[in-house]
Chains A and B, each alone.
Chain A
Amino acid sequence: MPVNYYIFLSLALFIIGIVGVLTRRNVIIVFMCIELMLNAVNLLLVAFSKMHHLAQVKINPAAGAEAQLFVFFIMVVAAAEVAVGLSIIVMLYRNTHSVDINFLNRLKH
């Protein structure tokens, strides 16, 4: 089972996320697409951890664990980010009653 498949899969997910960021105007959806990108990374990391585990399990039985822990940390951070991000969005909504990023153009030039 070549690891390339996983690389391509997660790259595809990642890019889908980017495209979402590029094409949507709803802030929340944009944010969700970013979450999608993070998940792509997680998937890739897990795949790699598996790969390295198999490669080095003889010398180090715990090989590859650090990647899974990294994924864990990513989730942690993502959760925190979501908390902050959503509160920012809510705050903005309170002031403008809109979540359209195209309305965010007071600051330019």
Chain B
Amino acid sequence: MNTLILSAVSGVIMMFSSFVLNKGRSVQILAHVLLLAIIFTNIAELRGITFLQIDTKGLLSFDKFSLLFMVVANVCTLAFFLLSSKDMEKVGRSYSDYFALIFFILAGVAISASFKSLLMLFLGIEIISIPLYILTGSDKRNLKSNEASLKYFLMGAFSTGLMLMGIALVYGATGTFQTTLNIAADKVPVLIVAGMMLLMFAMAFKVSAAPFHFWTPDVYDGAPTVFTSFMATVVKAAGFIAFLRLFNDAFVDIRTEWKLLIAIIVAATLFIGNITAVFQQSVKRMLAYSSISQAGFMLLAVYSLNSDAKEGLILYAAAYSLATIGIFAVLIKMKDYTFDGFNGFAKTQPLIAAVMVIFLLSLAGIPLTAGFLSKFYMLKATINAGGIALAIFAVIMAAVSVYYYFRLVQAMYFKTGETIVFDVSTGFKYTLISLAGITILLGLFPNLLTNWLYF
């Protein structure tokens, strides 16, 4: 709760900071300080130290799971700030407002990670979405940005409608908005099934799972790259946590009803995401599709609701977000976003190239990186839940994903050409290296992260 409040408050602070501070640098520093404070309180809360108690009337519950995820999200945001907050200045003139919006989003993340009531789920998702619509369109003169923003907005609103209808139907059957509704598995009221499905579709839309993924490539492509990096990682992960939480609390009893549907959605997501990514020429767009395919993998956690799935989802969120933020941060520095733009990258920037390789390996799920273990958790959970065919399909698709991730490696290392890279500070480099270090560390000892769930 403290984290939630603090992030909301710091959002407000950033909002007004523009009146006081007129230098971008100071705004940036302020944002970092606030974020560090948030992380601090967050960890404190995780260790059981709360500064002010608020009775949420059972609408929110900040258990270890949600708190740990919030830590992950906030830390990833910190990494994002460290790497790319300077580039936000280039987007538009209302620099401090961007930070404000991001803090509001963090508040929304906190909510959607810890909701106990469908009402809070709705609010949380909205609080995440609305600032995102704005950030997407924040590059006002750029038609692509405008278009992306409008597309995102219209379809997001549409999916909100679906979600609300689902909530209404569920309410109609149960008479409560609490997610802890225990339904007799033998005779399931059809209202609940219908509502559950509508909720599933809405959530699938939010996490960009096929066949509700269509907005993702366009929006990620059109949005300013800085914000793409943020919404492809932290926000998407939050969506997954919400998805997992919803189905784990509310619909776990009737999983026989929806297991098949989720399986279909997972398969479709993996298939479309990976296959379509293969032929992309722009790295940015490729990353958009790759985020879809990674979504397919994360959905396996929803398919198999067990402890492995939970640990795995946290780990996955961390691994995926860190790697993607890193790659985007480098991408922002590039002039040419196509694969050929990276030709001979290793010559000019050997260090960054090596780090990129680690991130790509992590995304592709090669051992010794966090990406592998998170995928491994997912597969383990899936097989445990009896979906071995799904698991086999998933790993084959993972093999396909190697195809397009390694195209980048090839471009950087084995092809020749000169790459135009904008200014790269040493601090940037060190941050990247430390991110890579974390990726490998988590790849060797995931318990460093997952143990927080238990003690």
Q: How large is the interface on A (under 10, 10 to 19, 20 to 34, 35 or more residues)?
A: 35 or more
B272 smallest CB distance to A (angstroms):
13
User: How many CB-defined contacts (below 8 Å) exist between A and B?
Assistant: 120
Since A37-B161, A107-B222 are in contact, a sample of 7 more A-B pairs with Cβ atoms closer than 8 Å, ordered by chain A residue number, is A7-B172, A67-B177, A73-B123, A85-B154, A88-B137, A106-B144, A107-B217
Please report the C-alpha to C-alpha distance between residue A104 and residue B221 in the assembled complex, in whole angstroms.
14
| Nearest CB in chain B to that of A67: its residue | B171
Q: How large is the interface on B (under 10, 10 to 19, 20 to 34, 35 or more residues)?
A: 35 or more
Please report the C-alpha to C-alpha distance between residue A89 and residue B140 in the assembled complex, in whole angstroms.
12
Q: Which 6 A-B pairs have the closest CB atoms?
A: A37-B161, A107-B218, A52-B175, A48-B172, A41-B164, A44-B168
**In the complex the two chains form, is B164's CB within 8 Å of A30's CB?**
no
**In the complex the two chains form, is A104's CB within 8 Å of B151's CB?**
yes
Please report the C-alpha to C-alpha distance between residue A17 and residue B148 in the assembled complex, in whole angstroms.
22
A108 at the interface (CB under 8 A from B): yes
**In the complex the two chains form, is A88's CB within 8 Å of B165's CB?**
no
| Nearest CB in chain A to that of B191: its residue | A7
Whether A88 touches B171, Cβ cut-off 8 Å, given contacts A38-B161, A38-B164, is no
Whether A40 touches B165, Cβ cut-off 8 Å, given contacts A66-B177, A67-B171, A73-B123, is yes
Q: Which of A3, A14, A45, A84 contacts B153 (CB 8 A)?
A: A84
| Nearest CB in chain B to that of A34: its residue | B157
Q: Summarize B's interface: helix, strand, loop or mixed.
A: helix
Spell out B's residues near A (CB within 8 Å).
119, 122-123, 126, 130, 133-134, 137, 140-141, 143-144, 146-151, 153-154, 157-158, 160-161, 164-165, 167-169, 171-172, 175-177, 217-219, 221-222
A2 smallest CB distance to B (angstroms):
13
Please report the C-alpha to C-alpha distance between residue A70 and residue B119 in the assembled complex, in whole angstroms.
7
Please report the C-alpha to C-alpha distance between residue A10 and residue B217 in the assembled complex, in whole angstroms.
33
Q: Would you list 9 pairs from A and B whose C-beta atoms are within 8 A, ordered by A residue?
A: A38-B164, A45-B168, A45-B171, A55-B175, A63-B175, A84-B130, A84-B133, A95-B141, A96-B143
Please report the C-alpha to C-alpha distance between residue A95 and residue B223 in the assembled complex, in whole angstroms.
16
Please report the C-alpha to C-alpha distance between residue A37 and residue B134 in the assembled complex, in whole angstroms.
23
B117 smallest CB distance to A (angstroms):
9
**In the complex the two chains form, is A106's CB within 8 Å of B147's CB?**
yes
Please report the C-alpha to C-alpha distance between residue A40 and residue B164 in the assembled complex, in whole angstroms.
10
Q: Which of A14, A74, A95 contacts B143 (CB 8 A)?
A: A95
| Nearest CB in chain B to that of A21: its residue | B158
Residues of A within 8 A of B176 (CB): 66
**In the complex the two chains form, is A34's CB within 8 Å of B133's CB?**
no
B106 smallest CB distance to A (angstroms):
18
| Nearest CB in chain A to that of B172: its residue | A48
Q: Which of B130, B134, B147 contacts A104 (CB 8 A)?
A: B147
